[in-house]
Amino acid sequence: MATAGTTGEFGWEFGKAVRRWRDRVSPETAGLPPAGHRRAAGLRREELALLAGISVDYVTRLEQGRASNPSAQVVEALARALRLSGTERAHLFRLAGLAPPGRETVPTRITPSVRRLLDRLAGTPVAVFDACWTLLLANPPYAALMGDPSDSHGDQRNAVWRHFLGPGSRARHTPESLREFETALVADLRAATSRYPADQRLRRLVADLRANSERFAELWDSGTVGRHEAARKTIDHPDVGPLTLDCDVLTVAGADLRIMVYTAEPGTQDAERLASLTALGMPTLAG
């Protein structure tokens, strides 16, 4: 297998594949609002860039075969944005000179059934995470509630890293809920390392957290065990104020994905505030 990246013949073939698959994905299928007159039915470059969380210039250079060595994260983001099948996704990785993720690495493919579920929950804040709590996809209401993640890359998209080493989230915690939350995060990450021992990205994440967060290292080394439970959370939103919402985490068997869903009790002020956020919301998916 070639490992020289996407320069030369590999770059040209990679770019042709991305362009071909971009042309077959309509904006509506990708969760984008319908636009005015379009010369083609497929996604525009700027739309693909937004969905994949990369720059328009980088998409252009990739399609023209001028960008070298796209990372596995970029290839995965393009595969999700283009809604590729498993076979197509593996082919895109090979065109990039990369080995397709195997069974011993954390799955990041969002299945068609999960896509359909998100489409049916268009008015509800929903986000999809992988088994090590890296954000894969956030719908517009979730982005409006918790902050637009489209400018976040790498470890910045990981909820464990953001909690222990980054800016955290808008969720408010009591001392007890904080302990339970941190314990569950660390336990999930430890379980992921057992299931996916060959995932180098996961191993680097754990090493970074242990080296730079005393709290994470304490919990990791203690072997603490916990799990995420359905809970009521208060979200401190900068525009509409605090919202107390029910937070449920659903696990997708086989795909090892985590779907986080926020809902409000009907007829409450929280429901009104959430509805106003959803109405104002983000116009596009943040992936």
Instruction: List for the chain the helix, strand, coil content (%; round to 5).
Output: 45, 15, 40
Q: Which helix (H) or strand (E) holds 205?
A: helix 200-212
Confidence band (pLDDT; 50, 70, 90) for 235?
very high
Query: Which of 276, 258, 31 is CA-nearest to residue 160?
Result: 258
Average pLDDT over residues 217-236: 86
Looking at every residue in the chain, the average pLDDT score rounds to 86
pTM (global) more than 0.85: no
Q: How far is the C-alpha of 231 from the C-alpha of 238, rounded, in Å?
A: 22
Domains observed in the chain: 8-95 (1.10.260.40), 112-280 (3.30.450.180)
pLDDT > 90? residue 80: no
SS3 label, residue 136? strand
Query: Which of 205, 186, 34 is CA-nearest to residue 106?
Result: 205
**Which neighbouring-strand residues pair with 129?**
135, 258
pLDDT > 70? residue 56: yes
- pLDDT tens-digit profile of 32-46? 766 666 776 789 898
